[in-house]
Amino acid sequence: MMKFIKYSLAILLLIFIFMAAFIAHTAWRHNMLSSPVYDTVAPAIPDFISDDADTKPNVLLFSKTNSYRHLGAIPAAKQMFTNFAKTENWNLFETENAAVHGKTILDRFDLIIWNNVTGDVLTQEQRTAFKTYIEEGGQFLAIHGTGGNPEYDWQWFPKTLIKAQFTAHPMNPQFQDGTLIVENTEHPTTEHLPKEWGRKDEWYSFETSPRADVNVLISLDENSYNPSRWGDKRELGMGGDHPMVWHHNVGDGRVYFSALGHTAESYEDQNFRKFMKRSCLWLLQ
């Protein structure tokens, strides 16, 4: 009997060690164990961005992560935007160096895209430059993880720029089939989508609905999935009003936020790609 108990305890201990190692490895892979890195030396900006004679739109694609790293979505989105730049004739500059957020550099760009940027990534000076860029008429597209920090040191980001504070997403299971309601079927960025858009994604929830301050384009039907972290409590429900895609003005600038797009597969989906391309084209107008 003692032997049996000893063996059982040993097996339990092994399972525990294995699980702890697995969790630690997953956290490490997704960049969740490292301390934030702030960049202070700006990258060299290629001539094609600087050249005033060139009338092509200049697009900045920024993908730095100081917290959870979307290992699949970041490269998939980079590939998608690189492809758009080719077909739509844009100058695209892609970087993970946050020091690109300086006034003279930002002013050269017609559109800034934050591709699943997580954690606080900007220094005080960079924050001021970026805020000024937006307020003075800059165009900003924020994708999924960019609005998915559970907390921000820089409160202007969730409060004014995104207009919503992320709370959590389901973990059991993390990815669920859900039905998006395309609320505005006349907007240039969503008019190609079905009124009820079925997708599988990691569904974000926010502290409160930003509806009063933004133009909601797409929301999520909370009855189409289980808005619960681990079980059946449905504690991630937002009382039925669950916006997922919206746009609004910040000063003279425009912000377009999409909470969609955790998986790499999203960026292969034709409806999703069209939606992303149209968002860029609308912001570049």
- Spell out, one character per residue from 211 to 250, where the chain touches Zn ion: x when CB under 5 A holds, - when not: ----------------------------------------
Residues 194-213 that bind Zn ion (CB under 5 A): 202
CB of 140 to Zn ion, least distance (A): 19
Q: Which is nearer to Zn ion, 187 or 199 (CB)?
A: 199
Task: In whole angstroms, give the CA distance from residue 62 to residue 117.
Answer: 7
- Quote the least distance from Cβ 263 to Zn ion, whole Å: 8
Which residue in 119, 262, 275, 276 binds Zn ion (CB under 5 A)? 262
Nearest distance from residue 82's CB to Zn ion, in Å? 21
**In the structure encoding, which two tokens stand for residue 259, read together?**
């909470």
Residue 23 DSSP label: H
Residue 193 CB, nearest approach to Zn ion (Å): 21
Please check whether residue 203 is in contact with residue 178, taking contact to mean a CB–CB distance below 8 angstroms.
yes
Which tokens is 150 given? 């559970």
Cα–Cα distances in Å, from 274 out to 117, 126, 188?
Answer: 22, 31, 11
CB of 46 to Zn ion, least distance (A): 30
Kindly tell me which of 74 and 129 has the beta carbon lying closer to Zn ion. Answer: 74
Rounded to whole angstroms, how far apart are CA atoms 209 and 195?
A: 20
Residue with Cβ nearer Zn ion (242 or 262): 262
> Is 245 within 8 Å of 190 (Cβ atoms)?
yes
Alpha helices (runs of H) in 89-215, residue ranges in sequence order: 103-106, 124-135, 156
- In angstroms, the CA 189 to CA 271 distance is 11
Nearer to Zn ion, 77 or 99 (CB): 77
Which residue has tokens 């969503």? 190
Residue with the shortest CB distance to Zn ion:
262
Rg of the chain over CA atoms, in angstroms? 21
Identify which range of 74-82, 190-198, 246-254, 260-268 contacts Zn ion by CB under 5 A: 260-268
* Distance of closest approach, residue 74 Cβ to Zn ion, in angstroms: 11
Residue count, binding to Zn ion (CB under 5 A): 2
Task: Give the interface with Zn ion as residue ranges (CB under 5 A).
Answer: 202, 262
